[in-house]
Structure 1
Amino acid sequence: MPARMRPDERLPLYQQLSDEMLARIAAGEWLPGTAIPSETELTRIHGVAIGTVRKAVDTLVKQGILERSHGRGTFVRRPQFSESFFRFFRQVNPSGSQPVPQSRILSRSLELPPEAVRQALALEQGEAAVYLTRERIIQPDRLFREQIWLPQARFFALLNIDPGMFANMLYPFYEEQCGQLIASARETLTIESADTDTADILGITPGQPVVAIERIALGYDSTPLEYRLSRGAAEGFRYQIDLR
């Protein structure tokens, strides 16, 4: 686990405390779903005023890192992995239902990533990454193929696991096997024309439109932990997102 950075002393005290708390979460010292120390205890531990502690906690609550439970305390928010596929990318049937995709790891290896991936993951020049290819079957005739890149320093353990043993949902699997916590993701959706290789994989005709979803998944401290590129046939595809 990488060493935690010291808070920037030029920042306001509440922000320094907020950063220190966030670093504890990112380092796995405070696990998702568990309660953090009470405001009174945080005041004692850090030697700051109760108002400073409350402002630091409020900052992390507003960021969606912590959540308050009336009468129980303040907890590290655990993303709902069972809903993550639909939260970030929604494939909707014409009837409006959302099928749960089944997944299968096709390959895993240690590779030098393309330059765009290297930059997205903030890797050093010449630094290899764990590379996974995965198939996601939504319906018998609806297929997505994924390319997944992960920093080797954090995910090297995956190279020793048989592809058939990977879980259907990868983010809880990352946490279980590598101690890496995914807190959020950014996605970009584009439309491409299928080249020969992509068309062959997806069972479509070259030149047909393909949906390409680029995802960068982040840790609690916003460190990039995963780069993922998913491709599937655009025919019958609907993108749905709820705005609140």
Structure 2
Amino acid sequence: MTQETSGAELNGTDHRLPLHARVKDDLMRRIKANEWSSGVPLPSEAQLTAEYDISMGTMRKVLAELAADGIIERLQGKGTFVRRASFNQSLFRFFRQPTGGQTPESRIVDRQEQPASAVVAEKLRLEVGAPVLYLKRLRLRDGAAFQLEDIWLPLPDAQPIAEVELDQLGSLLYPEYEQRMGLVIGSASESLSICVATPEQGRQLGCAAAEPLVKINRIARTHSGEAAEYRESYGLASSFQYEVEIN
């Protein structure tokens, strides 16, 4: 089967590329467009093979590469899904938590549009001064704040988050991004450092100014590698813990 006999879906791809690369590029385009929402499987191998008018072997190669790239995941007996990074517990694993694994309560205490600082612009790959949406969020356990987050999102992409009533946002923001912005977070990088609490941070976290804090910087990215969110999270160093199993 030649590239000329492949399906019409490939009309917008680079004809200089091998057929399997063009199919992969088009599936990536559809994934970026959030064609398959959370919990919705991709069509079966047979359906995709027919849709693109290619051989089963070529489609299997495409899907294997997407799985190896961390873009999709295959669940036995359920199908193939766009992989959505799970960060439900990633930030909380560094701070002692009660047993039960429940998602802490969240409260956004500030939301405003602002020009990107040099640091935020670098993290989000924007021009300094570009418009961003800023969120300040508290994470609470039994009504007491244990973590403070400063979050920045590029505008106008984040306009739906800027306009929604705050009490309509759930405790986890990434599902909100997907539902309201069509934005799927595929990966993130984090770095840890130690700092001291400012008077304002001390007031919000219920600690003294200059008390040691653990700071966690995170850049969240789409499946195509574009920086979609930058956040700085702060928690009390006195509750910090680090545990890793090495085999």
TM-score under structure 1 length normalisation: 0.83
Matched, 1:74 2:112: no
Matched, 1:38 2:44: yes
Work out whether residues 138 and 145 of structure 2, in 8 Å CA contact, stay in contact via their aligned partners in 1. no
* Aligned residue number for residue 141 of structure 2: 138
* Aligned residue number for residue 7 of structure 2: none
Quick one: structure 1 residues 11 and 240, their matched pair in 2 at CA, closer, same or farther if it must change by over 3 Å? Answer: farther
Quick one: structure 1 residues 121 and 8, their matched pair in 2 at CA, closer, same or farther if it must change by over 3 Å? Answer: farther
Whole-angstrom CA distance in 2 between matches of 1:242 and 1:99: 23
Q: Gapped runs of 5+ residues in structure 1?
A: 1-5
Whole-angstrom CA distance in 2 between matches of 1:221 and 1:201: 36
Taking only aligned residues, the RMSD between alpha carbons, in angstroms, comes to 2.7
Quick one: structure 1 residues 97 and 113, their matched pair in 2 at CA, closer, same or farther if it must change by over 3 Å? Answer: same
Secondary structure of 1:217 counterpart: strand
1:216 maps to which of 208, 214, 219: 219
Q: What is the percentage of aligned positions where both structures have the same residue?
A: 35
1:90 maps to which of 74, 87, 93: 93
| Correspondence list, 1:1-244, <5 A | 12-80=18-86, 84-93=87-96, 98=101, 100-138=103-141, 143-240=146-243
Q: Supply the AA of the counterpart residue of 1:112.
A: P
Work out whether residues 99 and 138 of structure 1, in 8 Å CA contact, stay in contact via their aligned partners in 2. no
Whole-angstrom CA distance in 2 between matches of 1:17 and 1:88: 36
* Aligned-pair CA distance for 1:108: 0.9
* Aligned-pair CA distance for 1:99: 5.6
Task: Judge which range, 42-51 or 227-236, deviates more.
Answer: 42-51
1:180-238 CA distances to partner (integer Å, 9 max, x unpaired)?
22222211111112233333332323332111011111122222111111112111211
Task: Judge which range, 140-149 or 96-105, deviates more.
Answer: 96-105
* Aligned residue number for residue 3 of structure 1: none
1:56-84 CA distances to partner (integer Å, 9 max, x unpaired)?
1011222332222445542223444xxx2
Work out whether residues 210 and 231 of structure 1, in 8 Å CA contact, stay in contact via their aligned partners in 2. yes
Whole-angstrom CA distance in 2 between matches of 1:224 and 1:159: 18
* Aligned-pair CA distance for 1:96: 6.4
Work out whether residues 115 and 128 of structure 2, in 8 Å CA contact, stay in contact via their aligned partners in 1. no
Whole-angstrom CA distance in 1 between matches of 2:145 and 2:161: 27
Q: Gapped runs of 5+ residues in structure 2?
A: 1-11
Whole-angstrom CA distance in 2 between matches of 1:74 and 1:85: 22
Q: Supply the AA of the counterpart residue of 2:51.
A: I
Work out whether residues 110 and 131 of structure 1, in 8 Å CA contact, stay in contact via their aligned partners in 2. yes
Quick one: structure 1 residues 67 and 95, their matched pair in 2 at CA, closer, same or farther if it must change by over 3 Å? Answer: closer
* Aligned-pair CA distance for 1:126: 3.2
From the CA coordinates, give the structure whose radius of gyration is larger: 2
Task: Judge which range, 56-65 or 41-50, deviates more.
Answer: 41-50
Task: Judge which range, 47-56 or 125-134, deviates more.
Answer: 47-56
